[in-house]
Amino acid sequence: SSTETISKQAEPFNEPVPIEKKVTTTSKQSDESTDESTTQSKRPLALRVALLVLRLLALLLCLYFFVCSLDLMSSAFRLLGGRQVGELLSNNVVFANPVACLMMGVLLTVLVQSSSTSTSLIITMVGAQILELRSSVYMIMGANIGTTVTNTIVSLGQIGDREELERAFAGATVHDMFNWLTVLVLLPLEMASGALTSLTGLIVNSNANSTINVDKPPDFLKAITSPFTGLVIRLDSKLLKDPELLRNSSTLIKVCCKTSNSTCLEKCQFMFMEVAGHWADAIIGGILLALSLAALIGCLVGLVRILRSLLESKVKTTIERVTRTENRCLLFAMDYISLVVGAGLTILVQSSSVLTSALTPLVGTGVITVEIMYPITLGSNIGTTTTGLLAALASGSDSSLQTALVHLFFNVFGVLIWLPVPLLKRVPIALAKKLGAATAAYRWFAIAYILLAFLLLPLMFFALSLLHTAAVYVAFGLLVAPMLVAGVVGLLQTHRPDWLPEFLRNWDFLPEPLRSLAPYDRLLSRIFGCCRRKRNKVDAMVEIEFGKNEEGTFRQS
């Protein structure tokens, strides 16, 4: 009887949510929805229409100032950089190293807490010729990884319940696993062949040579934004296009709006006009960059809040209808339906972090499973690229558009690799569930994972890139090679153990710190007495899955 109870406890992911919990949660949700509907129905029709119109106007204003902030950010980088800084960045060993650029993209997104902001920043830097296209490709890959830290932190909100924490952490880290695995495949491919750069270059060049005028959208956006941005700053376009004039000029700021025979007839009127020529371009650019970044983040926050207020209840009902269907045809195409739903909702909300963070608690409570969360997450990765495309159109640069297309195709190729083939689809889901089980057994592992994956590793590679390029490649190889070997050996241990020698059929030959988290748990328990873990069904699951040796420690980590 004890073995039966332990075996039942060994499958927390396959264990259905109790009927009482389902009934209570659904009844609470229905009660909340009915309360909201009744409160909204009590409002007069004129008031509801007025609130809707105000929200739509606020939405359009946020979108307008978002595009304006991108234009101002591009001008700020031109003032900050100039040709000297552009040459410095292009020759800098940090930006010339793909792995270092990847980790810088991770750090940038973690610090900004928004992949939309970081990708827009990278794209505008490319458009301002401050950052090379080649370096921006790897930074975009890192930005894709860094955006997953938000929903991983959100999963810690269910740390009080081990079962919910296990499911929530697995649902959050399935996004991490997809991005890391995609980088492991596409980063070496891009470094060796430049496949993404070549493909996007062909698309941009073909559009430039076609009969369709591709420059019309950027001109249209600039025509809309120039009345506002012209009140803040004005740059001399002739200096930007002519290197000789740029070298001989003391400032990039346009002072005279009307000239005749090299004499100024009318001075321009904008915010920085009084200090133009007195302050250095770098000082004005720094102030403008801070203002544009604040406006960009504020507009993104406003967009997210307005869209959530308009669509939050509809998003939840749409997800429940799609995921709870019993139609066999829909179940067969559930992955692709969820992919489209995730992409569409992310385009509406303009933030993949908002969507995945909203779904993470639902995975923890058992409303949706990790298998359903996975394709929705992939769709949100594709949907979030629309912000970068908008930034590229605002910059009006072919290199910016190419960088935005790299972001799009990076996610599309990742979906094509890790979704259609069932064998490959199971890899990120299985890895995420392993991380969830480890977090349920050792709750400190969640914080250690966040610090290691999103802070310590990127900082380490960035520091190594300052020493020498070869040090980065050596460290990257030493990190990735053991993981690949351990993955292959683990698969053979599970499916073809007879192909392996006897000492490789288990992990007992390794030292305990390399095959178990128990030594680190004992160390933390000595330092922090409150971190001592308690035995429960998760521990029983770990014991059955990995087994125990005579000393009572786990065979595998």
Q: Give per-residue pLDDT as tens, 169-209.
A: 999 999 999 999 999 999 999 998 889 999 998 988 876 55
Look at residues 124, 132, 170 and name the one whose alpha carbon lies nearest to residue 151. Answer: 170
Mean pLDDT, to the nearest integer, of 324-338?
A: 70
Say if residue 317's pLDDT is above 70. no
Report the DSSP beta bridge partners of residue 235: 253
pLDDT of residue 82: 53
pLDDT grade for 87, boundaries at 50, 70 and 90: very low
Mean pLDDT of 220-228: 75
Answer with the residue of higher pLDDT: 91 or 431: 431
Q: Cα–Cα distances in Å, from 552 out to 169, 458, 512, 513? A: 26, 35, 11, 14
546 confidence band (pLDDT: 50, 70, 90): very low
pLDDT-derived band at 557 (thresholds 50, 70, 90) equals: very low
Q: Any residues with CB less than 8 A from the CB of 84 and at least 6 apart, and which?
A: none
Instruction: Examine the pLDDT at 111 and tell me if it is beyond 50.
Output: yes
| C-alpha atoms less than 13 angstroms from C-alpha of 151 in its C-beta half-sphere | 31
Look at 34-43, 103-112, 478-487, 539-548 and tell me which has the smallest mean pLDDT.
Answer: 539-548
Coil vs helix vs strand at 515? helix
470-475: Cβ within 8 A, 24+ apart: 472/97, 472/99, 472/100, 473/99
Q: Chain-wide mean pLDDT for the chain?
A: 76
In b/e form, how buried is each residue of 247-265, taking b as 16+ CB within 10 angstroms? eeeebbbbeeeeeeeeeee
Percent of the chain having pLDDT more than 90? 17
Q: Cα–Cα distance between 268 and 271 in angstroms, integer?
A: 10
Mean pLDDT score, 111-116: 69
Q: For residue 514, name the pLDDT band (cuts at 50, 70, 90).
A: confident
User: Does pLDDT of 114 surpass 70?
Assistant: no
37 pLDDT more than 60: no
Predicted TM-score of the model (pTM): 0.67
Token pair belonging to 181:
């695995």
- What's the DSSP call for residue 163? H
Residue 429 has pLDDT above 90, yes or no: yes
**pLDDT (mean) for 322-345:** 75
> Which of 456, 514, 448 is CA-nearest to residue 482?
514
Confidence of residue 133 (pLDDT cuts 50, 70, 90): confident
Q: Which residues pair with 542 in a beta bridge?
A: none
The stretch 218-229 carries a mean pLDDT of 71
Retrieve residue 43's tokens.
Answer: 């409002």
Q: Between 274 and 317, whose confidence is greater?
A: 274
H runs (alpha helix) in 2-132: 2-9, 19-42, 45-91, 93-96, 98-112, 115-127
Q: Which residue has the higher pLDDT, 496 or 43?
A: 496
Tokens of residue 528, six digits: 């922090």
pLDDT at 128: 72
DSSP 3-state assignment of 15?
coil
Mean pLDDT of 132-141: 89
Return the higher-pLDDT residue of 62 and 5. 62
Q: In angstroms, rounded to a whole number, what is the distance separating the alpha carbons of residues 365 and 242? A: 60
**For residue 387, which of 337, 352, 336, 342 has the smallest C-alpha distance?**
352
Is residue 350 over pLDDT 80?
Answer: no
User: Rounded mean pLDDT of 139-149?
Assistant: 89
| Structure confidence at residue 56 (pLDDT) | 86
Query: What is the arithmetic mean of pLDDT over 255-267?
Result: 77
Q: Decide: 513 and 520 in contact? Cβ < 8 Å.
A: yes
Predicted confidence (pLDDT) at residue 475 exceeds the cutoff of 80: yes
Give the model's pLDDT for residue 550: 39
> Average pLDDT for residues 402-426, to the nearest whole number?
91
Tokens standing for 187? Answer: 């980063």
